[in-house]
Structure 1
Amino acid sequence: MRSYAAAVSPHDRYAGDVLSAGWNAPRKPVSAPQTLERGLVVEEPTSGFVGAVLRWENGLVVLEDRRGKIRSFPLGPGFLVEGRPVTLQAPVRAPAQAARRTASGSVTTPGGDKAKVALPSRIYVEGRHDAELVERIWGDDLRHVGVVVEYLGGIDDLAGVVEEFAPGPGRRLGVLADHLVPGSKETRIAQSVERGRYGAYVRVLGHPYVDVWQAVKPERVGLKRWPDVPRDVEWKHGICEVLRLPHADQADIARAWQAILGRVRSWNDLERPLLTCVEELIDFVTADHVQTDT
């Protein structure tokens, strides 16, 4: 006698073992996660309370119904949104942005690095390489306080630059000069300007180095110390020879400087005299504005 396997319909409610435990138990709907947002209408079916989300705190959601009645319920499963079962959960908070440090070591807070409107005060920097180094380390700080740095071709023209700028209260002028050592030509020019009629609003400071390249710690370019270059050899050419960098023309010198500048990451890569000069100049040109803001 042949036996035939019964065809089972996928819609047959009696298919399978009808004697197994729980065969006729209603299937529980699966709750979907629901992130809370203000104004979301939520129903708590056990109590029948329906209300819009006011807030959430300490593991509770606070609802307000259309009559203004307020109730709170523990977050989690057991709620309905538009008839669908949901598990209420609080939004994930974005991690707080940590304060960061600029290349100069200053601490900035989130949003604190936005540039301000430029102040009338200025800082003039003698030498293009000097200006590039100042921008690399103090650029963020200067933009934050609204101080513009301008390039000064040479300190020989300083008296004329000061006269044209006409410093005064709230309009100070700071100057960063090369090789400002006692008895030098640069020092005599600086002293003459500071004794002039604008002297109270002009500050001329400078580093003691032959060139700003020396303000970079020699270890950053693989040297124990910056070498002494004979007087009959142009200083930068002599340094390039020691570093085995091309120096046939000005383009080579520019590339050599960029190679050195590329080793500078923060204030810690610079010598203290330059750091002190620039920080003092920033304080000087912003002094009037700081007093006004406080």
Structure 2
Amino acid sequence: MRQYSPDLTPPWKKPKPVPEVLAEPGLVVEEPGTGFCGAVIRCEAGTVTLEDRFGKHRVFPLEPRGFLLEGRVVTLVRPASGPVRPTRTASGSVAVPGARARVARAGRIYVEGRHDAELVEKVWGDDLRIEGVVVEYLEGIDDLPSIVGAFAPGPDARLGVLVDHLVLGTKEWRIAEAVTSDHALVVGHPYIDIWQAVKPSSLGIAEWPRVPHGQNWKTGVCRALGWPENTGAAWQGILGRVRSYKDLEPELLGRVEELIDFVTAGGDVGLR
């Protein structure tokens, strides 16, 4: 007579053992019951919290055979050190402890001005160093076609350009359209200046003020907000309130990520 285990599972039908995997921060798994896929951000007694690529969090029980790792069934195990909380870069990516900066690529990302470069460095700097991407600023884009020509982008030296106020029909749009290299990608955001790409809520204001046409935009903003008319000091105050990608508008986030992808891994070319 065949014997049954205490849980009444016939011994010949017991599931095969599966690997046990430490629920380390950044580990990407799928919970098959719901199809939720995300990175481990916290593991506590009996539960694990996952975050998907949209920033949504879900908590699941740490059950045997409870997750899929690269399509394989695994059992997640709480690390011996207790709760785990990953360190993330300002761009939202999982930090790589001990990672060294990669030797700079031949490719580059150009931005219009110093403020643009400082903002990109603050939010994406860790990612850029790991990828070996250098960001340089141009002090305007009036001569962009000749600048791109002098850079001579090629398959192994792609060039990405971030343009302020890239709106159909504007001067910036016409200049960007003149860039025709297959190995250069020009993208832009709709804001008059990179200042506007910082969310007003992060600065404690309701909205960015409207500045009458013909006035210097940055000076007009300082006047409207009651700030001293020192645009350099105003920018440092704005930059100091930016802690991560969450403080920036999506229209900028997507464009910078697009340029990084293009310079490091290729992609569609042209004007966007």
TM-score (norm 2): 0.66
- AA aligned to 1:160 is S
Deviation at 1:98, TM superposition (A): 5.8
CA deviation map 1:28-59 (0-9, x unaligned): xxxxxxxxxxxxxxxxxxxxxxxxxxxxxxxx
What residue is the counterpart of 1:221 in the other structure? 203
Aligned residues of 1:126 and 1:155 also touching (Cα < 8 A): yes
Partners of 1:233 and 1:138 lie apart in 2 by 32
Aligned residue number for residue 260 of structure 1: 238
1:33-182 aligned at under 5 Å gives the runs 99-112=86-99, 114-182=100-168
Percent identity for Structure 1 against Structure 2: 61
Q: Where in structure 1 do 4 or more consecutive aligned residues deviate above 4 Å?
A: 93-98
Q: Which residue of 2 aligns with 1:211?
A: 193
- C-alpha distance in 2 between matches for 1:111 and 1:137: 19
Q: CA RMSD in A?
A: 1.9
Q: Give me the whole-angstrom Cα distance separating, in 2, the residues matched to 1:156 and 1:109.
A: 39
Query: 1:232 corresponds to which residue?
Result: 214
1:211 Cα offset (Å):
0.7
TM (norm. structure 1) is 0.61
- In 1, the alpha carbon distance for the partners of 2:188 and 2:95 equals 27
Q: Distance in 2 between matches of 1:157 and 1:220?
A: 34
Larger Rg belongs to: 1
Q: String of CA shifts for 1:51-88, please: whole Å, max 9, x gaps.
A: xxxxxxxxxxxxxxxxxxxxxxxxxxxxxxxxxxxxxx
What pairs with 1:1-12 in structure 2 (closer than 5 Å)? Answer: none
Distance 1:99-1:221 versus aligned 2 partners, 3 A rule = closer
Aligned residues: 188
Instruction: Tell me the equivalent position of 2:46.
Output: none
Q: Distance in 1 between matches of 2:266 and 2:254?
A: 20
Displacement of 1:226? 0.9
Distance 1:211 1:171, change over 3 A: same
Question: Are 1:98 and 1:110, in contact at CA under 8 Å, matched by a contact in 2?
Answer: no
Q: Distance in 1 between matches of 2:86 and 2:241?
A: 25
Residues 122 and 172 in structure 1, CA contact (< 8 A), matched pair in contact too: yes
Give the SS at the match of 1:155.
coil
- 2:131 aligned partner, one-letter code: V
Corresponding residue SS for 2:161: strand
Question: Structure 1 residues 133 and 287, CA, compared in 2 at 3 Å: closer, same or farther?
Answer: same
Q: Aligned partners of 1:210, 1:188: CA distance in 2, in Å?
A: 16
Conserved 8 A contact 2:209-2:225: no
Q: Which runs of 5+ in 2 are unaligned?
A: 1-79, 268-272
Which residue in the other structure is 1:201 paired with? 183
Q: Measure how far apart 1:96 and its partner are.
A: 11
1:287 equivalenced with 2:265 (yes/no): yes
* Structure 1 unmatched runs, 5+: 1-92, 290-294
CA distance in 1, matches of 2:228, 2:162: 29
